[in-house]
């Protein structure tokens, strides 16, 4: 084990040393590159500053060479960098350290070629004269018609190299100290790994000698701790099996108690041997009181006890539904299952009764049936009209062109009504099945209602109805613009349809705070001076196909689904809608919507 510890320590030290060396090389490289880049950026700024501040005389003048040479010397004293002025053809006309007349053409220097191509050139070259690396930076400069060429600065990288050397020195010392610390930590870690393994090995040998009372006393959460737990688990396998049996019993009891369906188990002798919580709640009984007693003690549920009796006598399964009235009225589905021994089919142990409350399911089925009946009725009316008038026209019984056009117009109107009805049914189905997508965006309400009023004003003018809007110009809210348009088009269309000629329809909007919390809401009121709604009809006004005035509604082309769609769309905007009405005076539909919608809610 000590040999393993030494090898582990050596491997860890080698990995740490290589990692620290690689990190040091990377840090030094980054330091040098960043320093050179900073130096290069400073030189570029100096050239640009020089371009702005310096006067550039004509390079063709007689004293141009002397001027640019003197200026380069002055600038070198200020910037501590070699300054060179180079014409576009590569000719040097000024340099702070050499005679321009003796200098070669610089057109093909690396920094010059890059400056021509990229607008900025830089390179690092070894200076044979100074025996050190130099950084050259060149920028194109144009000063009117006097100077069109390049300004080049060059500085020595000696200070950078010295900084790198100092960095290596400091880093080397730091890495050495860290290496020594890592060596100490590695030894301690290796010892911490091998010492528990020695204990586990000793306990494993004792267990192999049938000493099952041996235990590894190590409390760790790593792999070694898991190994120690595995060794201990092998030693007390018998206790684990017994514990598993108890856990399974607890799990079974937990499942029974948390099932949504009720379970009542009755022995072959008619005694109740098991009742879960769901059955207690459905039947209004107490399991502690009823367990061990006859199923006939369920006197308040005569229909169920009758079915239980038949199942116990026949020893066969059944599926029945019965109404119960205690503790609440509901419809219970009772499934009886005969319990037999797996080994012997003839060994009868009793009946298992499964109880399921199907009240909601049956209510939904009834609603679906009513919906289908209503749809069938609504579809039948326009279809009958279309068929009747079409048969009249096809039979040749109408020869008058005016009457024929009247019949055709009726067929067209009824088909349009049929199309609207089908569209509303599909829209309502999509909304109720939560397949509709909400696209929230900021809405300027004044502009939004202006477009709606333009569409509705023509309809209102035909009945000489005054359509008024009272929308503050500064009012904004967040919502699905298409869905909001559908809401208010429905409400305004209804208001106009149920308002007599010469009447008035008004839509107002205002911002206010809700009572429950601090969030802002917008209240919309669509008010008309129409025929009103009877009080008995107000609770059902948002039901599908419910009409207050059925004759007027069908005559106006209504489908009976508009307000139901409005209610669902308001709910999707997390708002509320209510109606206030008086017969002969008019109706008011009041909608409250939040100014801001929850961003996490997609409305799907």
Boundary residue ending a domain (103, 130, 162): 162
Query: Are 66 and 24 contained in the same domain?
Result: yes
Q: Please list the rounded mean pLDDT of every run of 10 residues in the chain (604 residues).
A: 59 72 75 79 85 83 86 84 88 87 87 87 77 85 83 81 72 76 70 68 71 70 73 68 76 85 90 91 89 88 89 89 88 89 70 90 73 65 75 75 80 75 70 74 93 88 91 92 89 90 93 69 92 84 66 50 84 90 90 81 42
Tokens of 571: 């709910």
Query: Are 56 and 135 contained in the same domain?
Result: yes
The pLDDT score that the predictor gives to residue 88 is 87
The pLDDT score that the predictor gives to residue 552 is 46
Start-to-end C-alpha separation, the chain: 63
Boundary residue ending a domain (327, 357, 387): 357
Query: Are 413 and 272 contained in the same domain?
Result: no
Query: Are 456 and 550 contained in the same domain?
Result: yes
pTM, entire model: 0.41
Structural domain boundaries enclosing 553: 439-594
Query: Are 448 and 522 contained in the same domain?
Result: yes
CATH classification at residue 544: 3.30.565.10
Residue 47 lies in a domain: yes
Q: Report phi then psi at 28, rounded to 5.
A: -65, -45
List, as one string, the DSSP characters of 485-547: HHHHHHHHHHHHHTS-TT-EEEEEEEEEE-SSSS-EEEEEEEEE-SS---GGGGGGTTSTT--
The pLDDT score that the predictor gives to residue 555 is 46
Q: How far is CA 64 from CA 67, 106, 146, in A?
A: 5, 18, 10
Residue 89 lies in a domain: yes
Boundary residue ending a domain (131, 162, 193): 162
Residue 223 lies in a domain: no
Residue 231 lies in a domain: no
Tokens of 455: 């569409």
Query: Are 156 and 8 contained in the same domain?
Result: yes
Query: Are 447 and 427 contained in the same domain?
Result: no
Tokens of 128: 């044979």
The pLDDT score that the predictor gives to residue 240 is 67
Query: Are 557 and 456 contained in the same domain?
Result: yes
Query: Are 134 and 9 contained in the same domain?
Result: yes
Query: Are 31 and 138 contained in the same domain?
Result: yes
Residue 199 lies in a domain: no
**How many structural domains is the chain composed of?**
4
CATH classification at residue 129: 3.30.450.20
Query: Are 382 and 288 contained in the same domain?
Result: no
Query: Are 488 and 579 contained in the same domain?
Result: yes
């Amino acid at each position: 084990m000590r040999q393993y510890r030494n090898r582990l320590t050596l491997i860890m030290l080698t990995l740490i040393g290589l990692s620290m060396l690689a990190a040091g090389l990377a840090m030094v490289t980054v330091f040098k590159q960043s320093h050179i880049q900073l130096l290069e950026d400073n030189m570029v700024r100096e050239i640009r500053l020089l371009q702005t501040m310096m006067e550039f005389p004509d390079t063709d003048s007689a004293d141009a060479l002397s001027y640019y040479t003197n200026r380069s010397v002055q600038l070198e004293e200020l910037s501590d960098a070699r300054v060179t002025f180079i014409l576009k053809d590569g000719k040097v006309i000024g340099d702070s350290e050499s005679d321009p007349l003796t200098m070669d053409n610089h057109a093909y220097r690396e920094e010059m070629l890059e400056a021509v191509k990229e607008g900025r050139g830089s390179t690092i070259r070894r200076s044979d004269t100074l025996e050190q690396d130099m950084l050259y930076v060149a920028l194109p400069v144009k000063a009117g018609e006097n100077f069109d060429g390049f300004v080049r600065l060059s500085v020595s990288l000696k200070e950078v190299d010295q900084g790198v050397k100092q960095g290596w020195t400091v880093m080397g010392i730091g890495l050495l100290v860290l290496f020594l610390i890592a060596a100490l930590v590695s030894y301690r870690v290796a010892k911490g790994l091998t010492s528990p393994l020695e204990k586990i090995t000793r306990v494993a040998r004792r267990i192999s000698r049938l000493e099952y009372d041996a235990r590894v006393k190590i409390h760790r959460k790593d792999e070694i701790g898991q190994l120690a737990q595995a060794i201990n688990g092998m030693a007390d396998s018998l206790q684990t099996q017994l514990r598993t049996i108890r856990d399974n019993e607890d799990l079974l009891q937990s499942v029974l108690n948390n099932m949504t369906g009720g379970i009542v188990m009755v022995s072959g002798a008619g005694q109740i041997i098991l009742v879960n919580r769901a059955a207690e709640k459905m039947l209004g009984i107490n399991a502690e009181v009823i367990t061990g007693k006859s199923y006939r003690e369920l006197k308040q549920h005569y229909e169920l006890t009758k079915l239980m009796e038949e199942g116990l006598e026949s020893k066969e399964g059944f599926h029945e539904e019965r109404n119960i009235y205690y503790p609440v009225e509901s419809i219970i589905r009772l499934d009886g299952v005969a319990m037999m021994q797996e080994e012997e089919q003839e060994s009868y142990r009793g009946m298992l009764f499964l109880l399921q409350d199907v009240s909601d399911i049956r209510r939904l089925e009834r609603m679906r049936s009513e919906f289908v009946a209503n749809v069938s009725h609504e579809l039948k009316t326009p279809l009958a009209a279309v068929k009747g008038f079409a048969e009249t026209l096809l039979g040749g019984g109408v020869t008058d062109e005016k009457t024929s056009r009247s019949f055709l117009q009726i067929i067209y109107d009824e088909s349009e009504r049929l199309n609207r009805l089908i569209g509303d049914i599909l829209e309502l189905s999509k909304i109720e099945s939560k397949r509709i997508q909400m696209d929230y965006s900021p809405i300027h309400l004044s502009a939004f209602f202006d477009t709606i009023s333009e569409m509705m004003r023509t309809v209102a003018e035909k009945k000489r109805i005054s359509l008024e809007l009272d929308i503050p110009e500064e009012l904004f809210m967040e919502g699905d613009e298409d869905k909001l348009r559908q809401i208010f088009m429905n409400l305004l269309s209804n208001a106009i349809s149920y308002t007599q000629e010469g009447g008035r329809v008004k839509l107002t909007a205002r911002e206010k705070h809700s009572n429950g919390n601090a969030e802002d809401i917008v209240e919309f009121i669509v008010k008309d001076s129409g025929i009103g709604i009877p009080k008995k009809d107000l609770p059902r006004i948002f039901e599908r196909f419910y009409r207050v005035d059925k004759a007027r509604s069908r005559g106006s082309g209504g489908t009976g689904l508009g307000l139901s769609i409005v209610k669902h769309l308001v709910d999707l905007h997390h708002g509320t809608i209510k109606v206030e009405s008086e017969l002969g005076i008019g109706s008011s539909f009041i909608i409250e919507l939040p100014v801001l919608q929850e961003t996490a809610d997609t409305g799907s």
